[in-house]
Chain A
Amino acid sequence: MEEIAKQTGLSKVSTHKSKNQIFELLKSIKRNKRACIGLVIVAAVILIALLAPIISPCDPYKQDLNIRLAEIGTKGHILGTDEYGRDMLSRLIYGTRLSLLVGFFSVVFGLAFGVILGLLSGYYSALDTLIMRVVDVLLAFPGVLLALAIVSALGPGLVNVIIAIGIWSIPTVARVVRSTVLYIKELDYVTAAKSIGESDSYILFKEILPNCTSSVIVYATMRLATAILSASTLSFLGLGAQPPLSEWGAMAATGRNYIYQAPHLTLLPGFAIILVVYAFNSLGDGLRDALDPNLKNAI
Chain B
Amino acid sequence: MFNYIIKRLLQLIPVLFGVSVIVFLMIYLIPGDAAEIIGGPTATAEEVENIRVKLGLDRPMYEQYIKYISGVLRGELGYSFQTGQSVSEAIKIRYGNTFSLAVFSAIIAAIIGVGAGVIAAVKQNSWFDYLSMSVATFGISAPTFWIGLLLIVVFCVKLKWLPISGFSSQFWTKDGLTHMILPSITLGFSSAAMIARMTRSSILEIIHQDYVETARAKGLSERVVILKHALKNALIPVITVIGVNFGGLLGGAVVVESVFAINGIGRLMVQSINARDFPMVQGTVLVVATTFVIINLLTDIIYAVIDPRISYK
Contact = CB atoms under 8 A, between A and B. Distances in A.
Partners in one complex: yes
Interface of A: 133-134, 136-138, 140-145, 148-155, 225, 229, 232-233, 236-239, 249, 252-253, 256, 259-260, 263, 266-267, 269-270, 273-274, 277-278, 281
Contact of B27 (A145, A153, A252): A153
B140 A281 contact: yes
Contact of A266 (B146, B248, B270): B146
B250 A142 contact: yes
Contact of A239 (B15, B19, B273): B273
Contact of A152 (B16, B18, B250, B273): B273
B249 to A, nearest CB: 8
A259 B153 contact: yes
A233 B15 contact: no
A142 B138 contact: no
B134 to A, nearest CB: 10
Contacts of B15: 133, 136-137, 140
Interface residues of B, number: 52
B23 A233 contact: no
B289 interface: yes
Nearest to A230: B143
B22 A270 contact: no
Interface string B248-260: 1111101100110
A144 B145 contact: no
Nearest to A263: B153
Given A149-B281, A237-B255, A270 B142 contact: yes
B141 A278 contact: yes
23 contacts: A133-B15, A134-B18, A138-B22, A140-B296, A141-B251, A142-B248, A142-B288, A142-B292, A145-B285, A148-B273, A148-B285, A149-B285, A151-B273, A152-B278, A152-B281, A232-B143, A233-B255, A237-B270, A239-B270, A249-B145, A274-B142, A274-B146, A277-B142
A252 B145 contact: yes
Interface string B135-152: 001101111111001101
